[in-house]
Amino acid sequence: MSLGQVGLSGTVPAVTAADRTRVETTHPVHQQLAKRDSVLLVIDTSGWMLKPLGAGGPPRIRVMTDYILKSFGAFPSGMSNGIITFNATEDAAQTPRVTTVIALQPDDTKQWIAAEPKYLATLAGIKPEGGTPLYEAIDTAWTHSMANYQEGRTNRIIVVTDGADQDAKSKVTYDAMMKTLQQKDPAKPIKVTYAAIGPDADHASLQKIATATGQQAAQLNTTAELEQKFTAVLES
């Protein structure tokens, strides 16, 4: 299925004056985020993310990527961000594909300016398909963030998913993932938020992981909730 078939153009949506005003006034925290946070965004790109957000709503992946793209268009330069995407092949092998598209890097305006086009193009060009190797994605994200910790900043991982590890034959089990998440350095705290997209998303599974590791999980059932709760996460 193409992006056009689900309403994604495959191009970065233009940030209008109204978008910029909304982000800068309604969500002033975004401006502060650029100055103090390092964010690794972990996006579920499985076929499950094509499901509508609410009855008759747009695909979940579209709601998520449109929000991020328009928000980032209003950010100043000099950010520290990374992207990991995850899904699995649709054949019988159900091979996990957990990809570090953009690695976290030191907060440097010049580096971010160079990385920003790829970051935005990745979000605009996501093609959801296959299963959800959730445990492997979380394991990979934690290991990557620990290895690329940004001193003097709030280090965050935000996992956006339908909330269930399914239809993917990964070697990373729940227990293996939890063992990785227990590998903490008190001098390098990392905040993780698990975002379950949609009323039928498996929020309970994400909450179980969050509770066991002292992190947080949120369920986002509408576009309005997504914007409200994401802002609250970034303020925490």
Domain locations in the chain?
23-212+225-235
**Which listed CATH number (1.10.10.60, 3.40.50.410, 3.30.43.10, 3.10.20.310) goes with 23-212+225-235?**
3.40.50.410
Confidence of residue 35 (pLDDT cuts 50, 70, 90): low
22-26, 72-76, 115-119, 215-219, range with the lowest pLDDT: 22-26
pLDDT of 160 > 50? The answer is yes
pLDDT of 4 > 50? The answer is no
What's the pTM value of the predicted model, to 2 decimals?
A: 0.82
What whole-number percentage of the chain has pLDDT above 90? 48
* Higher local confidence (pLDDT), 183 or 120: 183
Q: What does R_g of the chain's alpha carbons equal in angstroms? A: 17
What's the rounded mean pLDDT across residues 161-176?
A: 93
d(CA 123, CA 150): 23
d(CA 78, CA 35): 8
* Higher local confidence (pLDDT), 197 or 121: 197
What's the rounded mean pLDDT across residues 11-23?
A: 48
d(CA 120, CA 213): 31
Residue 124 is predicted with a pLDDT of 82
The packing angle between helices 174-181 and 134-147, to 10°, is 20
Nearest alpha carbon to residue 157 among 186, 123, 185, 195 = 195
C-beta atoms surrounding 171 within 10 Å: 9
pLDDT of 49 > 80? The answer is yes
d(CA 162, CA 206): 10
Cα Dmax for the chain? 49
